Amino acid sequence: VELVFHARARREGSFGARLLDGLRRELDAGSIPVRMVWAGETAPDPDWLPAVWEVPDLAAAAARERRFSILLNDRPPPGIAASYIDSVSTDDTSGGVVAGELLHAVAPARRLAVLAGPRDDPRCLRRVEGFQSLVRKADIVWAGGWFAEDARRVAPRLVRRGYAGVFCCNDRLAEALLAAYAAAGVARPAVVGFDDAPVAEDLHLTTVAIPWKELMLGAVDIVRRRLRGETGPAASRVYAPRPVHRTTLPLRTA
């Protein structure tokens, strides 16, 4: 199997880095040969089964050649290509609803907000959409990226507005928000993140946890089937995220 990852996975502590490390361990444990390719740096080898993260064009190109591939934490577009693209992903819309349920239980809906990531990332949009399906009038503040430095420029805006609860679309955004409250000397509201990255435990952050183990084992199972030569219909495996309670969210009704 050929792991084709966007260069963002090189960043320590990032989602991509965690996915890459975990997947490599599972493939190694299964004695499955692995070739690593960074998108745009090395040409993929058509003799290897590609498993791709954040490089959807590569999966689409393989499908046009009637070759199978695996999308990691993403879903294929509808159409003929989808019959050649297996995928494993988490249900971001459901995760957004989970965050809405957690915050709505402890704070009035009119005083809730979302600190969102990139406007053009479908996963971010689905998380926001899920939250808004439950908390329709929540304010949305866009950080423009997934990292703490992206959120730092907008976090003070959330502090000034005095929200009772904030859903951060990933844990790095929550990290910047909590730091902004601490810097301002203002008591933080209820905060819920998304991912359950290692930083979440360090911050005692209540978060919506991506089922990491299931994602990786699901991908390995698909790899095994395709390497055995199975040519049945492509499958999309979608795993539901779950809440992990820590101290940034009180376990009581406001």
212-229 pLDDT, tens digit per residue, is 999 999 999 999 999 999
188 band by pLDDT with thresholds 50, 70 and 90: very high
Q: Can you tell me which residue has the tokens 């689409």? A: 60
Task: Work out the percent of the chain whose per-residue pLDDT is above 90.
Answer: 88
Q: 52 with 70: CB under 8 angstroms? A: yes
Number of Cβ within 10 Å of residue 144's Cβ equals 14
Q: 217 with 245: CB under 8 angstroms? A: no
175 band by pLDDT with thresholds 50, 70 and 90: very high
232 band by pLDDT with thresholds 50, 70 and 90: very high
**DSSP state for residue 197 in the 8-state scheme:** -
Query: Within the chain, where are the H helices?
Result: 15-29, 56-64, 92-104, 122-134, 148-152, 155-161, 171-184, 198-202, 212-227
Which residues, in sequence order, are CB contacts of 25 under 8 Å at separation 6+?
none
- Tokens encoding 228: 């055995």
148 CB-side CA count, 13 A: 15
Q: What is the pLDDT of residue 15?
A: 87
Q: What is the pLDDT of residue 52?
A: 96
User: What is the Rg, in whole angstroms, of the alpha carbon atoms belonging to the chain?
Assistant: 19
State how far the Cα of 237 lies from the Cα of 222, in Å rounded to an integer.
Answer: 10
Angle ∠(158,208,166) on CA atoms, nearest 5? 15
Q: 51 with 3: CB under 8 angstroms? A: yes
Sheet of strand 112-116, all strands in order from the earlier edge strand to the far edge: 139-142, 112-116, 165-168, 190-195, 206-209, 242-244
Q: What is the mean pLDDT of the chain?
A: 93
State how far the Cα of 111 lies from the Cα of 115, in Å rounded to an integer.
Answer: 13
- Tokens encoding 196: 């359950």
Residue 254, pLDDT above cutoff 80: no
Phi (first) and psi of residue 114, to 5 degrees: -125, 130
| pTM, full prediction | 0.88
Strands 236-239 and 85-90: parallel
Measured over the CA atoms of residue 124, residue 127, residue 131 and residue 136, the dihedral's sign is positive
State how far the Cα of 132 lies from the Cα of 152, in Å rounded to an integer.
Answer: 23
